[in-house]
Amino acid sequence: MEKRKLGNSGLEVSALGLGCMGMSFGYGTVTDKKEMITLIRKAVEQGITFFDTAEVYGPFINEELVGEALAPFKGQVVIATKFGFAPSQSNNSRWGELDSRPEHIREVAEASLKRLKVDAIDLFYQHRVDLNVPIEDVAGTVRDLIQEGKVKHFGLSEAGANTIRKAHAIQPVTALQSEYSLWTRQPEKEILPTLEELGIGFVPFSPLGKGFLTGKINENTKFESTDFRNVLPRFTQDALKANQSLVDLLGRIAERINATHAQIALAWLLAQKSWIVPIPGTTRLNRLTENNGATSIVLTSDELQEIEVSASQIKVTGERYPENILKLTGR
C-alpha cells in the first residue's frame, strides 16, 4: 500500500488507516476479542500501518485490544489515541464529561502508554475541544510530553480553524481528525484551507458515513439497541430514504469501473488531497480487504467531475449528530 505523509510533520503512514472503535464500542454487539486481534494483524499484513483508538472506546478496552494486537509490530506501525474526556464506567454515561486539564492529560498519557504497550504515543489527539481549558494550555502540556519522550505527535479532533491556529502556534499540530465524506463536506469550507496553509495532515473518520455509503443500509435497516446510529438524525427512516440518491451516485460509478460503493467513496476522499488519510473501521476481514482495494483505484478527472456535479445537486438530510454532541464540534 502506498504511504502518505501527514502534512509537514514527516509522520508517514499507510494511505488508509484502520479505525478500531467499532471493535469494542458503538455499533451494537461487541465482537470477539481474539477475532479482532486477528483482524488487526491481517490489516498489518495488507499494508496498513496506521491504527486509531481512544481511551473512551469501551472505555479502555479498545486501547487494550489494539495494544495486544500490535505488540508484535512495535516500531513498524503508528498508533493514534486520544485524551479529553473523563470516561465513566457507568452504563448511563459512556464518555463522561470533557476534561482537558493538564494534570488529566498527563494521567491519560501514562495510562494509555500501559494499555497500548508502547514507550511513546505516536499521535495524541485532543478528542474534543474543552472550552474550560485554554487550548494553549492543552498544546503546552502535549509539547511537554513530547519533550519528555512520552508522545511523538500532537493532534486535534473536530476542532475549529481558530483553535487549530492557536494550538499550532504553541506546539505544531501533526493532524486533525474530523468527520469527512461525500455526505459530510463541511471541512471543505474553512478547515481544509487552514490545514493546507499550516501544513497539517487530515484524518477523516467515518469516511463511509458510518456504513451508509457502502450501499448496505436503507430506510428499512434496523440497528441493535446498543448501536449509536439509533440516535443520529441522519439515520432516521426518512433521512435514510432521502439520502439514498448519494448512494445511487456511488453505485453508478462503481458499476462502471467494477468497484464497490465503499471503494468509490474512499477513492474520492484519497483524490481530494495528498495529505488526507481516511480511517474506515470494520470488524470483518472481507470488508477490510475491500476497503484497502480503494487505494488502487484512481478516479479520472471526468469521474471526479461527475461526482462533484451530481453531489452538488443533492441536499443531505439530517444533522450528523444530535444537538448535545454536535455542539462539541467545530469549536
What's residue 31's pLDDT?
86
pLDDT (average), residues 210-227: 96
Name the catalytic one among 57, 125, 180, 321: 57
Return the SS3 of 203: strand
Complete domains list, the chain, with CATH: 3-326 (3.20.20.100)
Could you tell me the pLDDT band of residue 95, with boundaries at 50, 70 and 90?
Answer: confident
Share of the chain above pLDDT 70, in %: 98
Does the pLDDT value for residue 91 go beyond 50? no
Share of the chain above pLDDT 90, in %: 95
Does the pLDDT value for residue 45 go beyond 90? yes
Average confidence score pLDDT of the chain? 96
What's residue 90's pLDDT?
53
* Nearest-angstrom CA–CA distance, 307 and 297: 15
Return the SS3 of 309: helix
DSSP line for 249-283:
HHHHHHHHTT--HHHHHHHHHHHH-TTB----B-S
* Nearest-angstrom CA–CA distance, 181 and 294: 14
Q: Which of 48, 47, 3 is nearest to 275 (CA)?
A: 3
Return the SS3 of 208: coil
Could you tell me the pLDDT band of residue 29, with boundaries at 50, 70 and 90?
Answer: confident
Q: Are 290 and 28 in contact (CB under 8 A)?
A: no
**Alpha helical stretches, state H, the chain:** 33-45, 61-70, 102-116, 135-147, 161-170, 191-198, 237-242, 244-256, 261-272, 285-292, 301-312, 323-326
What's residue 203's pLDDT?
99
pLDDT (average), residues 53-66: 96
Residue 57 is a catalytic residue: yes
pLDDT (average), residues 80-88: 91
pTM of the complete model = 0.97
pLDDT tens profile 251-285: 999 999 999 999 999 999 999 999 999 999 999 99
Q: Which of 258, 240, 246 is nearest to 297 (CA)?
A: 258
**DSSP 8-class letter at 95:** S
Does the pLDDT value for residue 88 go beyond 70? no
* Nearest-angstrom CA–CA distance, 79 and 169: 24
Query: What are the counts of helices (DSSP H) followed by strands (DSSP E) for the chain?
Result: 12, 11
pLDDT (average), residues 60-86: 97
Could you tell me the pLDDT band of residue 87, with boundaries at 50, 70 and 90?
Answer: confident
Q: With b meaning 16 or more CB within 10 Å and e meaning fewer, what string describes 75-97?
A: eebbbbbbbbbbbeeeeeebbee
